[in-house]
Amino acid sequence: MSIRIRKVRPSDLDAILEISQHIWEGHDYLPFVIKGWLKDPNSHTYGLDVGNHVVAVANLRIIEEGRTGWMEGLRVHPDHSGKGFANAMTNHIIRKAVASNVQRIRYTTSTENPASLKLAEKFGFIPILKMAVLWHSPVKVSPFTQDYPKIRKSSPSQIFDLLEKNPYLMPNRILVYDWKALDTSPNGLKTLGKTHEFYLALKKGSIDSLSYAYLRRRKQRLQWIFTIHATQALGFASHFQYNLSKALEQDCEGVTCTYETAFEETLHQANWLSDEHWSTHMVLLEKPNR
């Protein structure tokens, strides 16, 4: 039986959807993005074909004006696990990224995914950033009485100028959003601004806290997805409450928040969380292309 890695075709969609049914108890995001990948000239989607049937898939997206090769969506059908197909797909994606002359290859994974972390180590990826991720439903907002500067909407260009004056707010200089990442550059902020809204609070003219968010709709289910950066716990708490309010305004079923690990205790000591919440840690991995 022949085995090969090739470009995914529209005729492979049923096979890919079959793989997705086994991921996260059928809640995989791949069915919602795969058609977009196939239409995107910057995305290169590959499948591992066994006997003319795709049993593994992964996407390479060239972003940040060609500097970064973003690896995403690596999936192997459970009937074919343990055969080295994840290694083969990763190796293929890396070779394609190197051939594209990117400066680095990046991807994110959960710290609760040992197979993915082992794969990263094997292929020379190093962790460069760790963030906490919380999913929470239903949305509720508790009274927040502490004084804090007003949070207001801002633009990507204003955010960049303010971050240049206060680099301590985001010391890694990386925008993390919905398990993806971009450099905090004018182009990165502009790109994110096409889908996200930015909210900030100022103290004495300097940016003290920042969040960026977007509304995600999947099968009529609305989720408010946001990231928070802050210098102090009060700023973090204020933005968390602010984004819960935004989610409530739009009748969201739940929220997903990515935030700095320094504020985990602040969040879990508050009374905002119901029993229906799930948390993990996301790690951003990078392999330089030398």
Return the number of other C-beta atoms located less than 10 Å from residue 265's C-beta.
10
Residue-wise pLDDT for 155-196, tens only, equals 999 999 999 999 889 989 999 999 999 999 999 999 999 999
Q: Where in the chain is the domain with CATH 3.40.630.30?
A: 3-102, 134-287
Structure tokens at 25: 């108890």
Q: Is 272's pLDDT higher than 70?
A: no
Give the whole-angstrom CA distance, residue 78 versus residue 20: 10
Give the whole-angstrom CA distance, residue 237 versus residue 148: 10
Residue-wise pLDDT for 129-153, tens only, equals 999 999 988 777 766 656 789 999 9
Residue-wise pLDDT for 90-100, tens only, equals 999 999 999 99
Q: What is the mean pLDDT of the chain?
A: 92
- Architecture of the CATH domain 3-102: 3-Layer(aba) Sandwich (3.40)
- Comparing 24-38, 71-85, 133-147, which segment has the lowest mean pLDDT? 133-147
Q: Alpha carbon of 101 to those of 87, 95, 117, 229, 289: distances in Å?
A: 21, 10, 25, 32, 8
**In this structure, are residues 138 and 274 in contact, taking their beta carbons and an 8 Å threshold?**
yes
CATH, range 134-287: 3.40.630.30
Give the whole-angstrom CA distance, residue 66 versus residue 159: 23
Residue-wise pLDDT for 243-256, tens only, equals 999 999 999 999 99
Q: What is the mean pLDDT of residues 192-217?
A: 96
pLDDT band at 218 (very low <50, low <70, confident <90, very high): confident
Q: What is the mean pLDDT of residues 233-249?
A: 93
